[in-house]
Amino acid sequence: MYTEKVIAEFTNPEYVGEIADADGVGEVENPGCGDIMRISLKVEGDRIVDARFKTFGCAAAIASSSMATRMIRGMTLSEAWNLSNADVVDALGGLPEPKVHCSLLARGAIRAAINDYRTRRGLPPLEAGPAGCCEGTKPDNG
């Protein structure tokens, strides 16, 4: 049912936890199942130098958040904002169709963390939109 990469990220997540002095923190909840994902970021310039997650949820949500934090480390805020759930699913080698929606939590948490980062600096939050839309929306290097 799950790929080896999904099982590896679920059973041995490398970046689980929380950054004590995070520059931005985002938390989202899937209203359907109640699963919660929290991602914290450390930013230098416009680049993410550390990303950690805490996920109360299913195996697919945990694997997605683990892979997403792995992927956005080293990305610019713009690149991380534009990371799609399809990018995360591809990096995991796929998810069973009924579990693809779980990967949307990771994108939502990343965008919420970026908007928290922006708000802390007096910048307006970007329109994150409902899950599944807003591909291509870019932050203005805030």
User: 56 or 120: whose CB is closer to ligand FES?
Assistant: 56
Residue 35 contacts residue 105 (beta carbons within 8 Å): yes
Continuous segment of H or E residues that includes residue 86: helix 85-91
**102 sits near ligand FES (criterion: CB under 6 A):** yes
Among positions 8, 16, 58, 100, the unique one binding ligand FES when judged by CB under 6 A: 58
Part in contact with ligand FES (CB under 6 A); list of ranges 14-22, 29-37, 88-96, 115-123: 29-37
- Active-site residue set: 33, 102
Six token digits for residue 30? 């899937």
Q: Are 66 and 51 in contact (CB under 8 A)?
A: no
- Regarding 60 and contact with ligand FES (CB under 6 A), the answer is yes
Q: How many CB atoms lie within 10 A of CB 66?
A: 26
Q: Footprint of ligand FES on this chain (CB under 6 A)? A: 30, 33, 35, 57-58, 60-61, 102, 105
